[in-house]
Chains A and B, each alone.
Chain A
């Protein structure tokens, strides 16, 4: 029992320190540089250490120092307690989702089989959805406790947006669950390791294309990023984090970047095979025509984990591309899209998948 707890803690620490925080920190830099390069600019490159600029990488440190040395101001008219915990609630909801994501196949260490996953819950799927929707509390509490009209407007927009799109999100994923017959994420990933005719990998994006097309925008709406950044809408209402400053504001930003990573992990896990690579089986590569390349289990595991991280990075990149390409939806357009266009399609997908699976 104790060893299990220690193992889980070790996994949490490794996961946080090796994957999540570095990725989220680097994403702040990637976001600025990628948007600059997309727009024929150079981007942040002025922060230097002893004259070394390193393409602006030190801007991450400079940003951190700046935000943590700024005044942490609580407005006198705010609800102090809620105001102080709101950023942490948002961050918490974003970070706990990592627990159920399988980063790789189980590995054998010193005779024990260790799952590359913090918590192998048999309701992993529901856990993920539940904590994904807890993200709305960060927004609501921040907007409400600020006692500011615009922050409150942002919070209200956030609530209606996130609740609307949660419905679509959940329904889109029902199709995935129907295909794999399980709500355990490792099962879903394992199911995507099969191939049609030995050639075409049975990735979620191919078995459930409509679900993917609905899931991606709905999930971006859940992370409140452009084109669904209406709760923030900095050009019109500044948003739910209006009254925040210094380190707490930085926590909101960090939460946003962690949500990008979470979303990328989810898309990869549910629709792009998780840690499965095409034609890579436990023994090595096996192609449809029988050609094979045998690899040792260690190499296979390393390839799979690397492939998983690579796919995740690609989706982080894609989200930043989307964020710097598309304009913001108007609020009525957003709700109409969610309820009148995406929801019927999601229902249709569920029914069609169920019929196909039964038949």
Chain B
């Protein structure tokens, strides 16, 4: 309990009655209640188009479009023939402040660069998503624009990405024709808050993850435990 209470606003009759202020507050919340109930009722009987009754997004089913500048799960770009653009120059491994990247280089006679990663591991448990690897890459090979940020698992091994998990020619999930020509970073603060029309179901490609999990489960779990530091 406060022993000394400094009163900046001395009590007036209106404030010490409490009822006017309390009723004013209840008027605001009750108005929200009835207006939202009315909108929910309109929606329930099939009248669409008005203001939404709530601004809640039903997250797993509906997802806000993410800013394109979001740093999400890594990917390594590939050439048209399918070989990685990465030349195993080790710059990203050097730049990484968390020591989460570890590259095993190999010679690659078939490519002009003559060098390629034999193994490329990113330990997401260590990664702080700073994006330094992306900036360091001289070949524009590593990107963090997959927009996959629901990274959860109950096994540590699943957080170690290996080369097959990273070689990802897929387009960014949240860029589609409806966002063509728009700068998501600028329009997104308004999207999803002003109107539900801009929302669409998230394209969460679960088959991709299931495949990856299968691959990881087939491998030896202990194989990824090597410390990178």
B36 touches A37 (CB 8 A): yes
A42 touches B1 (CB 8 A): no
The CA-CA distance from A322 to B24 in the complex, in Å, is 11
A37 touches B40 (CB 8 A): yes
A332 touches B29 (CB 8 A): no
Q: Note all chain A residues with C-beta closer than 8 A to B54.
A: 36-37, 40-42
Q: Does B108 contact A (CB under 8 A)?
A: no
Q: Does B53 contact A (CB under 8 A)?
A: yes
The smallest C-beta distance from B227 to any residue of chain A, in angstroms, reads 38
A37 touches B25 (CB 8 A): no
- Chain B residues 142 to 163 lying within 8 A of chain A, measured CB to CB, are none
Known contacts A332-B1, A332-B5; is-contact A38 B19 (Cβ 8 Å): no
User: B11-43 interface mask toward A, CB cutoff 8 Å, 1 = contact, 0 = none?
Assistant: 000001011001001101110110011001000
- Chain A residues 181 to 212 lying within 8 A of chain B, measured CB to CB, are none
The smallest C-beta distance from B11 to any residue of chain A, in angstroms, reads 10
Q: Does B179 contact A (CB under 8 A)?
A: no
A332 touches B2 (CB 8 A): yes
The smallest C-beta distance from A249 to any residue of chain B, in angstroms, reads 26
B32 touches A321 (CB 8 A): no
B36 touches A325 (CB 8 A): no
Known contacts A321-B26, A326-B22; is-contact A37 B32 (Cβ 8 Å): yes
Q: Note all chain A residues with C-beta closer than 8 A to B33.
A: 34, 37-38, 321
Can you list 29 A-B contacts with CB-CB less than 8 angstroms, sorted by A residue number? A36-B56, A37-B33, A37-B36, A37-B40, A38-B29, A38-B30, A38-B32, A38-B33, A38-B36, A39-B32, A40-B36, A40-B54, A40-B55, A41-B55, A42-B54, A42-B56, A42-B58, A322-B26, A324-B29, A325-B28, A325-B29, A326-B22, A326-B25, A326-B26, A330-B1, A330-B2, A332-B1, A332-B5, A337-B18
In this complex, the interface size class of chain A, counting residues with CB under 8 Å from chain B, is 20 to 34
Q: Note all chain B residues with C-beta closer than 8 A to A332.
A: 1-2, 5
B37 touches A37 (CB 8 A): yes
The CA-CA distance from A229 to B19 in the complex, in Å, is 18
Known contacts A34-B33, A321-B30, A341-B16; is-contact A41 B56 (Cβ 8 Å): yes
Q: Of residues B22, B32, B33, B54, which shows the largest number of chain A Cβ atoms within 10 Å of its Cβ? A: B33
Q: Does A285 contact B (CB under 8 A)?
A: no
- Which of B18, B19, B25 makes the CB contact (< 8 A) with A325? B25
The smallest C-beta distance from A343 to any residue of chain B, in angstroms, reads 14
Q: Does A331 contact B (CB under 8 A)?
A: yes
Known: A38-B36, A325-B28. 9 other contacts (CB 8 A): A37-B33, A37-B40, A40-B56, A321-B29, A322-B26, A325-B26, A331-B1, A332-B1, A337-B18
The CA-CA distance from A332 to B6 in the complex, in Å, is 13
Q: Note all chain B residues with C-beta closer than 8 A to A36.
A: 54, 56
Q: Does A299 contact B (CB under 8 A)?
A: no
The CA-CA distance from A251 to B60 in the complex, in Å, is 33
Q: Does A213 contact B (CB under 8 A)?
A: yes
Residue of B nearest to A157 (CB): B1
Residue of A nearest to B40 (CB): A37
The smallest C-beta distance from A230 to any residue of chain B, in angstroms, reads 10
A213 touches B19 (CB 8 A): yes
The CA-CA distance from A40 to B18 in the complex, in Å, is 26
Residue of A nearest to B26 (CB): A325
The smallest C-beta distance from B18 to any residue of chain A, in angstroms, reads 7
User: A295-328 interface mask toward B, CB cutoff 8 Å, 1 = contact, 0 = none?
Assistant: 0000000000000000000000000011011100
User: A21-44 interface mask toward B, CB cutoff 8 Å, 1 = contact, 0 = none?
Assistant: 000000000000010111111100
The CA-CA distance from A109 to B30 in the complex, in Å, is 42
- Chain A residues 202 to 247 lying within 8 A of chain B, measured CB to CB, are 213, 217
The smallest C-beta distance from A227 to any residue of chain B, in angstroms, reads 8
The smallest C-beta distance from A38 to any residue of chain B, in angstroms, reads 5
The CA-CA distance from A317 to B29 in the complex, in Å, is 12
The smallest C-beta distance from A177 to any residue of chain B, in angstroms, reads 24
B29 touches A40 (CB 8 A): no
The smallest C-beta distance from A313 to any residue of chain B, in angstroms, reads 14
The smallest C-beta distance from A44 to any residue of chain B, in angstroms, reads 11
Q: Note all chain B residues with C-beta closer than 8 A to A321.
A: 26, 29-30, 33
The CA-CA distance from A326 to B25 in the complex, in Å, is 7
Q: Note all chain A residues with C-beta closer than 8 A to B32.
A: 37-40
The CA-CA distance from A213 to B28 in the complex, in Å, is 20
Residue of B nearest to A217 (CB): B18
The smallest C-beta distance from A28 to any residue of chain B, in angstroms, reads 18
The CA-CA distance from A166 to B60 in the complex, in Å, is 49
